[in-house]
Amino acid sequence: MKWTYTTLKTAIQDYLDTSETTFVNNLPIFIQEAEQRILQNVQIPVFRKNVTGQATAPTDDVPVSYLEMPSDFLTPLSLALIDSSSNYNYLLLKDVSFIRDYTPATATSGNPLYYALFDDSTFILAPAPSTNFTFELHYVYNPQSITATSSGESWIGTNAGDTLFYGSLVEAATFLKFEIPEVQAFEARFIGALTSLKNRVEVLGSKDEYRYGDIY
């Protein structure tokens, strides 16, 4: 299956046999929720990015450092401190509670060893960096939804159309209060399509041109 936004909306309405106004107005939300489920469950190589940045300095009142996330951040793959010799020192991803327990009451600096997702836009680091290090974040970004692209097309709509379609049906059928067995049937088809997509992505990722970044 390959979809544009227009053909996908029509297919969902036809499949569920409804064009009720409130339902149609919520179609973009159903589709976006399906896209997010796909992106959170499959690491698709074309949606990976690298960015560099610097952390905030600690103070006695706030003995930790924060690093701003990119605006299109979805999930981290790795975070590395680049030292003065251009060596990459990878930080371990932890929970915020671990960072808080690890961090002393007063400002202590050194080479950061850990990081955590502090909120929707910030990482927290510990210990705080002792100098103005550069950090490189490798992450999965949140691509523009098929509902918002000027062309009405997207990578997911073109390359993972069945996954997007069945994921949208799960959300739409839940909204319409379909019987649980019907929603479960759509969910089973979505999971099957998602598994197939994962397998295809793993095969692509094993090819040298994908592994070394020659194809995006």
Helix axes 161-175, 27-41, angle to 10 degrees: 130
41 and 148, same domain (yes or no):
yes
40 and 62, same domain (yes or no):
no
According to DSSP, the β-strands at 128-129 and 109-110 are parallel
Q: What is the sign, positive or negative, of the torsion defined by CA atoms of 102, 107, 111, 114?
A: positive
Q: Which of 107, 132, 157 is the last residue of a domain?
A: 132
Q: Is 183 within the bounds of a domain?
A: yes
Cβ atoms of 126 and 113 within 8 Å: the answer is: yes
Domain range holding 194? 5-45+144-211
Which pLDDT belongs to residue 70?
A: 96
Which pLDDT belongs to residue 202?
A: 83
72 and 125, same domain (yes or no):
yes
Tell me how far apart the alpha carbons of residues 54 and 48 are, in angstroms, rounded to a whole number: 20
Cβ atoms of 142 and 158 within 8 Å: the answer is: no
For 128-178, what is each residue's pLDDT tens digit? 887 788 999 999 999 999 999 989 999 999 999 999 999 999 999 999 999
164 and 199, same domain (yes or no):
yes
68 and 108, same domain (yes or no):
yes
Nearest to 172 by CA among 26, 10, 21: 26
Positions of the chain with pLDDT under 50? 208-216
23 and 78, same domain (yes or no):
no
Which pLDDT belongs to residue 127?
A: 85
- The number of angstroms, rounded, from the C-alpha of 1 to the middle of its chain's C-alpha atoms is 23
Q: Which of 77, 106, 132 is the last residue of a domain?
A: 132
Other C-beta atoms within 10 Å of 17: how many?
Answer: 7
95 and 74, same domain (yes or no):
yes
**Domains of the chain: total:** 2
